[in-house]
Amino acid sequence: MDRLLSWELDVEGICSLCGTHQESRNHLFFEYAFLAEVWRAALLRLRVYNAPTSWESVIDWLSAFSGDRQHKVVVLQIWQGCLYEIWKERNSRFHLGTTVPPSKICGGVICIARSKAVALKNSERKLGTDLVSFWSVA
């Protein structure tokens, strides 16, 4: 909503989920505790305990991520899955009035990452095989 407001569109700028804060990407993904829990829980599955908690710091962290290629791809897939699932939850609440718990949203994030790994494996990429192996034990 903050972006729409910056374009001078006539929209309500208050978060449709909590009803108390300005809706921004940082609010949706990190300040709104319900949805911020999805990011933290997904990363805990990867044993990442000190991930950043603001949009800009996550982008910097992902860009400078040190580790092997497989681990970096897994973290990027979790980030992309979180963006998708959190935005999907926001839209479901806004348009349908439905809510699911953070654990179910996190499950969707993990499912997306696993599905991407299988797709990579099916396209006969070595990284896909490695990712499928990773997710089979994670």
What is the chain's alpha carbon radius of gyration, rounded to the nearest angstrom? 16
pTM of the prediction?
0.81
1, pLDDT greater than 70: no
Q: How many CB atoms lie within 10 A of CB 27?
A: 20
- pLDDT, residue 110, reads 94
17: Cβ contacts below 8 Å, ≥ 6 apart: 23, 28, 32, 34, 35, 90, 93, 94
- With 50 as the cut, is the pLDDT of residue 5 above it? no
pLDDT at residue 69 in the model:
87
The domains of the chain are located at 36-137
Q: Summarize pLDDT for 89-120 with one digit per residue, the tens.
A: 888 988 898 989 989 999 999 999 999 999 99
Of 27-31, 73-77, 95-99, which range is least confident? Answer: 27-31
Are 35 and 28 contacting, i.e. CB atoms less than 8 angstroms apart?
yes
pLDDT at 26: 83
Report percent pLDDT > 70 for the chain.
90
28 contacts 90 by C-beta, under 8 angstroms: yes
CB atoms inside a 10 Å sphere around CB 37: 15
Q: How far apart are CA 58 and CA 120, in angstroms?
A: 25
